[in-house]
Chains A and B, each alone.
Chain A
Amino acid sequence: MTLIHALNTEPKAFAIHDMWEEAENIRTFVFKGTLGSKPGQFCMLWIPGYDEKPFSIARDYDGEIWLTICKVGPATEKLFEFKKGNMIGLRGSFGHGFSTVKNKNIVLVGGGYGTAPLHFVGKKHQEAGSKVTMIIGARSANLLMHEKWCEEAGFRVLVATNDGTKGTEGFTTHVLQDLLAKEKIDLIQTCGPEVMMKAIAQMATDEKVACEVSIERYMKCGFGICGQCVTESGEKMCQTGPVVSADKALGYTDFGVFHRGSEGQRKNW
């Protein structure tokens, strides 16, 4: 029998080359090198002797890997204590990423720190001659991320904040609804809270617009062995996903409803 792959999934060491704040509790870490990532894939970041967690990849080109990380728990709190030159481990890239398409009208929708992987895919679309609109949403203006990156890249950037401190007051879905009414969109790609993505997947399906969502599930290994990230369809989100079509996602009975914790217990969104 031939091996389909003879993976080596040992972590490799990287030094933190640079880092800066993107927004409150959100920081970008830069490492020299590449994981050969496609937009929408993820990697495992190992804080040696502490813990290891999955993160989406904000950029992997020009000899640098960028990860934009939100401080959400003990592991990320530990990481935020790290300084330039400190070493961490990375493995990946893993999973199935976003499609890139040529000469189309693309809308990317990021909610909160789910915005992290979208600039990367937007750049690829742009290189392929597509027009990119980026809708960025957050609870408040101080939590918005990657707005500047997207503006500098020449994307059309639209902002929504729940409290109206910047852009449209309300949700990204309101902004998307307006766009859908005004222009022909060829593809919507989204990453963010699952309830938001479910609403977007539904809107896209109703309007017959192609759509891809990035589904976050608890991941222990990242490469299809532990079974922690399996949806109710039986598919592993670390391999079939994290990016799947809206059709597929809407078929998962857990999509937008519940996910599972570290011991496999159900947790409602």
Chain B
Amino acid sequence: MTNLSLKCSGITFPNPLVLASGILGVTGASFAHSVKKGAGGITTKSLWKNPHPGHKNPTMFGTPEYFMNAVGLSDAGITKAVEELGQYLPTRKAPLIANIVGGKKEEFRDIAIAIEAMTEKPDMLEVNISCPNVEDEFGKPFACETATAAEVTSIVRKATTLPIAIKLSPNVTNIGKIARACQDAGADAITAINTVGPGMRWNIDLKTPILANRVGGVSGPAIFPIAVKAVYDIYQSVDIPIIATGGVNSGREALEIMMAGGTLVGVGTAIYYHGDDFWEKATKEMADWLTKEGITDISEIVGLFHQLK
């Protein structure tokens, strides 16, 4: 069977499928369980500097075609996270990516510093810049402007020795340009894409928006084509690896988005559609396909579509 292990930003992953941020990423026990089931890596939920309560329920729902969420990034704050991660990290069997978030630029720096001070550190930081910038007059997300995205990247770069991935929003017209600015500001990788939208759904009998936050990010199978296009565009703009995320729902789709430019593949809603067996089913499907094609090193397929005329 083809070996699925590969490197991303100098870190070896047993396979390219990593649990995306916000799915099951609450406790060390939960991370260990996903790895046991076959995840090649884990991304934590977004960690805030201070405790962050999140939204009331309903915070998420799914349909066969798409998934919506507005969890509001609930978190107990970086002090608790360092405790929880500190217990898990020495026992980890696959790399751990710590996802960090802030409402102000210096919050990203403070969290990065707190993680840098850990005895055993995560393998990588993923910076969620898709949330609203509270210092911006219109609360525009950091990810929606090239200059702000680069500024946050540069702040985190100065605060940590760990490789950093910047997680980009698809809700822009120039994702390749933003990715390039992040690379130039010191990013080691790009994660793309965050959720699409926001979208809105109502219950017509109750005449109420389903999500308590009224609107929420759209993910799941329906956004896969948007993710493939974003990853394809980013690959043409940067020289750093891409953690390709967005609606991947099978091993074949994981291979497709890798060929569009992804080195790693983020897995989120596939767990909703397939349960924890997804990891094993998808990695087997990938290995079988590669074997059939006579490919022994999975990293050969990264960006394959760009070599085609």
Q: List A residues at the B interface (Cβ < 8 Å).
A: 1, 3-13, 44, 46, 48-53, 87-89, 91, 220-221, 223-228, 230-236, 239, 260-265
Given contacts A1-B281, A225-B272, A227-B23, A48 and B63 within 8 Å (CB-CB): no
Given contacts A224-B271, A264-B75, A13 and B32 within 8 Å (CB-CB): no
Q: Which residues of A contact B57 (CB under 8 A)?
A: 44, 46, 51-53, 220
Given contacts A51-B56, A87-B206, A220-B57, A4 and B273 within 8 Å (CB-CB): yes
Question: Is residue B172 within 8 Å, beta carbon to beta carbon, of the partner chain?
Answer: no
Are A234 and B53 in touch, CB under 8 angstroms? no
Are A264 and B59 in touch, CB under 8 angstroms? no
Q: Which residues of A contact B222 (CB under 8 A)?
A: none
Bound: A261/B251 CA distance, A? 35
Question: Is residue B274 within 8 Å, beta carbon to beta carbon, of the partner chain?
Answer: yes
Tell me, rounded to whole Å, the shortest Cβ–Cβ distance linking B274 to chain A: 5
Bound: A260/B60 CA distance, A? 20
Q: Which residues of A contact B269 (CB under 8 A)?
A: 225
Are B274 and A4 in touch, CB under 8 angstroms? yes
Are A235 and B33 in touch, CB under 8 angstroms? yes
Are A3 and B205 in touch, CB under 8 angstroms? no
Are B273 and A13 in touch, CB under 8 angstroms? no
Which chain B residue shows the least CB distance to A230?
B30
Tell me, rounded to whole Å, the shortest Cβ–Cβ distance linking B156 to chain A: 23
Bound: A49/B213 CA distance, A? 9
Question: Is residue B62 within 8 Å, beta carbon to beta carbon, of the partner chain?
Answer: yes
Q: Which of A1, A5, A49, A235 has the most chain B CB atoms inside 10 A of its CB?
A: A1
Q: List B residues at the A interface (Cβ < 8 Å).
A: 23-27, 29-30, 32-34, 36, 45, 51-54, 56-64, 71, 74-77, 80, 84, 201, 203, 205-208, 210, 212, 249-252, 269, 271-277, 281-282, 285
Q: Which residues of A contact B275 (CB under 8 A)?
A: 4, 224, 239
Q: Which residues of B contact A231 (CB under 8 A)?
A: 29
Bound: A262/B73 CA distance, A? 11
Are A262 and B23 in touch, CB under 8 angstroms? no
Bound: A157/B52 CA distance, A? 46
Are B60 and A3 in touch, CB under 8 angstroms? no
Are B63 and A225 in touch, CB under 8 angstroms? no
Bound: A44/B210 CA distance, A? 13
Bound: A265/B80 CA distance, A? 7
Contact of B208 among A49, A263, A265 (CB under 8 A): A49
Given contacts A1-B281, A230-B33, A220 and B59 within 8 Å (CB-CB): yes
Contact of B26 among A11, A89, A230 (CB under 8 A): A230
